[in-house]
Amino acid sequence: MDKSKHTFRRYDDGDFVQEDWGAEIFQASWTHKCPTYVHRTPPCQGSCPSGEDIRGWLNIIRGIEKPGDDTSWQEYAFRRSTDANPFPAIMGRVCPAPCEDGCNRNEVEDRVGINSVEQFIGDYGLANNLSFEAAAEDTGKTVAIIGGGVAGLAAAYQLRRAGHACTVIDEHKHLGGMARYGIPGYRTPREVMDGEFQRIVDMGVEVRAETRVGRDISLAELREEFDAVLIAIGAQSGNALPIPGSDAPNCISGVAFLDAFNEGTLQHGAEKVIVIGGGDTAMDVVSVARRIGHIKNVAKKDRPENVVLGFTAHDVATTAVREGAEVLLAYRRPIEKMPAAEHEVLEAEREGVQIKGSLMPVEVIKSDDGRATHLRMVEVDWSSGKMEVKEGTEIDIEADLIVAAIGQSGNLTGMEDLDNGRSLIDADSYFQVSGQPGLFACGDIIRPHLLTTAIGQASIAAESINHYLMQQDNARRPKVDVHHFNLLGKLRETDKAPEPFEPHWAHGTDDAKFAVHNYEDRSKHEVIPSDQLFLGHFAYTPRHKREQIEVSATEVLGHFEERQLSLEESDVRQEAGRCMSCGMCFECDNCVIYCPEDAVFRVKKDEATHGRYVDTDYNKCIGCHICAEVCPTGYINMGLGE
């Protein structure tokens, strides 16, 4: 028998020279490469500190991914969104949306309005009383969470889903932390905030309000009482101006100013207010200062600094005679370099705030009684790439109140052993406090940043706490550490899961029912850039923008209504439709239509689901690359094969 007929040999005897690689692969209209389907993370999701599956809930809203049961698309989108972030109504209003900055749609015409769609999802959840469920079975483990802000509550949410009992301990009367006491109510209506917080409490979370750790109970006592402790106290102490004279009583921090306003004790401010800073806190301070104005003949006890410091509180009746305030925002860098969102800067200017960049404070000028009367400032130049003082440009600006919004730190009174020297706590990548088994920390007390950052950290911390409580080792965190679309989960949801694997001898697995064929998940390792998309597929489509209530300088006094209105449902669906579904098939049929060999085909309906819409007959495929070239989302890769 001629055994050579049963043997494959690419090269004959004597072949020892490798041909040019290009010539080896590309043979006119065919190649050895055939399409493979590769799932990658979109840049919106990779840019989201909360790690939301943004592409996922946008595809649900537009109708591409459908619920596996009779759940409405609105609720299904809500469930997908809140898998990572339990506060869509809050974050849809106040998040500065780094996801939109990363959106690949910016390469076509304009970003997808992710925030506006998220606000709709959150408002739908509140209007329809959608709730969260704790795990079906309790583990018997207990966790104390110090701090009732978004970090602490997000961690409680994830831990209850894992079946652990949670107790949130907070020094305030109401939950919310900096979200409640650092952001004005006209940006986050209190009924919205209360609704999203109560949803988590209703999961069975115990709350100990008006209890300060280090004063009413010690950290050691908590560690004795609970199986694990998470510190999420935020950074609620504002930094003072590092200049002479800043110890004047009417020099206060932006954090303290906003806290007093949101507590309801600060009803009016000062006639001439100077705010130093360029971030979100600074923008909120100037916005509030313009709204609360001042009163002419103010008693000493009613001076804003005395209210902010907690010595007294304003009588609401006095606000009837308040007048407008002159508010100046000064930032040491150029205005265009301010970290605050551009629309917040524009709104502040519209409301009558004077904004000056490249201006640095050097000294607080005080009167004989020790109060600040002027702030001495100097112009600086950044043209060389570093800050240089312009000689002879000093100017004294009159001020009744000086507010520093230049950074924050934590208050670790009673937990001084954890202070890293900057009034913050050090933790590792799993948010464990070094050398303290069972003690974890997340949120602003690690590094002051965005609310969305605190939510993302809480999710990882909760996972680490779960591993600790269940005596499991922490798995290595993925390179792209967010909540990913799970194809196996989707297949199970639609009763199309692979069959159980039973070891057996076989010639191959191409027909096996225990595997998901022709699909590769690189989402934990790769973010797909715009140059891997077919941008020509997407027509110019303007963004559907939320209605903004524009408040003029003459209307701002006493204006506390919400400024940003939700999109209508039809606009929400159209805006979601602008998503390019980067890194995941969105069922456009381009690959099916343009394949010259009819090798690419739609998966049978009884086998298809989101992420399993098309497949390839490799007996027909000639590797012409056309399907990959016309794939708008970059979902098709040409892999090497025969």
Q: What is the pLDDT of residues 397-409, one digit of tens each?
A: 999 999 999 999 9
Structural domain includes residue 36: yes
Looking at residue 1, what is its pLDDT? 46
Number of domains within the chain: 3
Q: Which helix (H) or strand (E) holds 629?
A: helix 626-630
Do 233 and 356 belong together in one domain? no
Which one of 439, 469, 499 terminates a domain? Answer: 469
Structural domain includes residue 197: yes
Structural domain includes residue 548: no
Do 230 and 269 belong together in one domain? no
Looking at residue 182, what is its pLDDT? 92
Structural domain includes residue 112: no
Which one of 380, 406, 432 terminates a domain? Answer: 406
- Paired tokens of 111: 């970003």
Q: Which of 610, 620, 619 shows the shortest CA–CA distance to 37? A: 610
Do 244 and 385 belong together in one domain? yes
- Paired tokens of 186: 């006209």
Do 300 and 280 belong together in one domain? yes
Radius of gyration of the chain (CA): 29
Distances (CA, A) of 124 to 89, 119, 127, 157, 528: 9, 8, 5, 19, 31
- For residue 33, the number of C-alpha atoms closer than 13 Å in the C-beta half-sphere is 21
Do 445 and 594 belong together in one domain? no
Structural domain includes residue 71: no
Q: Which of 148, 184, 153 shows the shortest CA–CA distance to 87? A: 153
How long a stretch of residues is the chain?
Answer: 642
CATH of the domain at 458: 3.50.50.60
- Paired tokens of 471: 């005596």
Which residues fall within 8 angstroms of residue 138, CB to CB, at 6 or more apart?
Answer: 163, 164, 165
Do 227 and 285 belong together in one domain? no
For 71-77, the CB contacts below 8 A with 24+ separation are 74/121, 74/124, 74/128, 75/124, 75/125, 75/128, 75/130, 77/121
Do 338 and 379 belong together in one domain? yes
Q: Do the beta carbons of residue 108 and residue 632 sit within 8 Å?
A: no
Do 499 and 608 belong together in one domain? yes
Neighbour count for residue 187 (Cβ, 10 Å): 18
Q: Supply the mean pLDDT for the chain.
A: 92
**CA 234 to CA 96: how far, in whole Å?**
19
Looking at residue 365, what is its pLDDT? 97
Do 352 and 215 belong together in one domain? no
Structural domain includes residue 59: no
Question: Where would I find the H helices in 313-442?
Answer: 342-350
Question: Exposure of 230 by Cβ count < 10 A (0-12 exposed, 13-18 middle, 19+ buried)?
Answer: buried
Do 324 and 348 belong together in one domain? yes
Residue whose token pair is 């940043």:
449
Structural domain includes residue 634: yes
Looking at residue 22, what is its pLDDT? 63
Structural domain includes residue 47: no
Which one of 362, 386, 406 terminates a domain? Answer: 406
Q: Do the beta carbons of residue 597 and residue 622 sit within 8 Å?
A: yes
Looking at residue 506, what is its pLDDT? 63
Looking at residue 3, what is its pLDDT? 45
Do 331 and 461 belong together in one domain? no
Residue spans of the chain under pLDDT 50: 1, 3-8, 642
Model pLDDT for residues 122-181, shown as the tens digit of each residue: 999 999 999 999 998 999 999 999 999 999 999 999 999 999 999 999 999 999 999 999
**CA 466 to CA 142: how far, in whole Å?**
11
Residue whose token pair is 């509550």:
153
Can you give the pTM of this predicted structure? Answer: 0.90
Range of the domain at 203: 142-237+410-469
CATH of the domain at 606: 3.30.70.20
Do 250 and 232 belong together in one domain? no
Model pLDDT for residues 354-364, shown as the tens digit of each residue: 999 999 999 99
Total H helices, total E strands in the chain: 20, 23
